[in-house]
Structure 1
Amino acid sequence: MKEMEEYLSTIENEEHRKRLRQIFAWITRTFPDLEYKTMWKQPMFLEHKTFIIGFSASKNHFPIYPETKGMEEFSNEIREAGYTQSKNLFRIGWEDTVNFPLLEKIINFNRIDKAECSTFWRK
């Protein structure tokens, strides 16, 4: 995917770039109906033009954005996985293990919860 590679090329650290490429590849294999987009300089995955999950990259971690409702639904599991969090995102350290079953649950939750959503963000 050209758009995805264009975003990944902006990440200076090769290991960080590889890590996100692996995660994005897992998402596209696991959820082939999701559409990748780079919007507001951030990678995100959409379904029927509504936001499902987003990412970004920083020096020590990569934040994941499942929207506030997704954070509220999975806050305890995110904490149990050892990730730090705020109201709108959680952070996985570059050296931390990615809890793919949790990520899958979060994505599935958003897909089901937003199945009839006609806006980009929840209202």
Structure 2
Amino acid sequence: MIADFEGYINRVDNAANRDQLRTVLTWVQETFPQLEQRYAWNQPMFTDHGTFIIGFSVAKPHMAFAPEGQGMVHFAEQIAAAGYNPGKKFGRIKWTQDVDYDLLKQIIQYNIEDKIDCTTFWRR
């Protein structure tokens, strides 16, 4: 259940984009039920034992996923192959593109495993 994120989701003007965002956030919660929901820095995010795993944000042309810079570097080839527009710490999925759930799963799993002993919110 992503009730904590509904206020954010409902601010998305386009109904199809709103539904897509809700679908992605619900998928993350259902696929990784151990992750905790957190709303901070004006975006929905998921954490594990108090450390950041992934966040999402929206803009008019896209939805962004943010796995931190290390996650972007680790999956740079796959992100490019999916046709997503990469930034330094986040990737952009155009609303017209399909969401590659297998890639998202790999990215999230990587962060969970890589940050298993992390005691800070962000990597150092």
Pick the TM interval, shorter chain. over 0.9
AA of the residue aligned to 1:91 = R
1:86 shift after superposition: 1.5
- Return the alpha-carbon distance in structure 1 between the equivalents of residues 89 and 28 of structure 2: 20
- Return the alpha-carbon distance in structure 2 between the equivalents of residues 38 and 6 of structure 1: 10
What whole-Å deviation, never above 9, does each CA across 1:33-84 have from its counterpart, x for those lacking one? 0111110111111111110001100000011101000011000110011111
- Return the alpha-carbon distance in structure 2 between the equivalents of residues 86 and 4 of structure 1: 24
Do structure 1's residue 30 and structure 2's residue 31 form an aligned pair?
Answer: yes
> The residue matched to 1:79 in structure 2 has which SS?
helix
> The residue matched to 1:57 in structure 2 has which SS?
strand
Which residue is 1:114 aligned to?
115
Structure 1: gaps (5+ residues): none
1:87 shift after superposition: 1.3
Q: What is the root-mean-square deviation in Å for CA atoms of aligned residues?
A: 0.8
Number of residue pairs matched by the alignment: 123
TM-score (norm 1): 0.96
- Return the alpha-carbon distance in structure 1 between the equivalents of residues 88 and 77 of structure 2: 12
- Return the alpha-carbon distance in structure 2 between the equivalents of residues 27 and 99 of structure 1: 12
- Return the alpha-carbon distance in structure 1 between the equivalents of residues 105 and 93 of structure 2: 15
> The residue matched to 2:75 in structure 1 has which SS?
helix
AA of the residue aligned to 2:55 = G
AA of the residue aligned to 1:111 = I
Do structure 1's residue 6 and structure 2's residue 19 form an aligned pair?
Answer: no
Which residue is 1:39 aligned to?
40
Which residue is 2:69 aligned to?
68
1:118 shift after superposition: 0.6
Identity of counterpart residues, as a percentage? 43
Structure 2: gaps (5+ residues): none
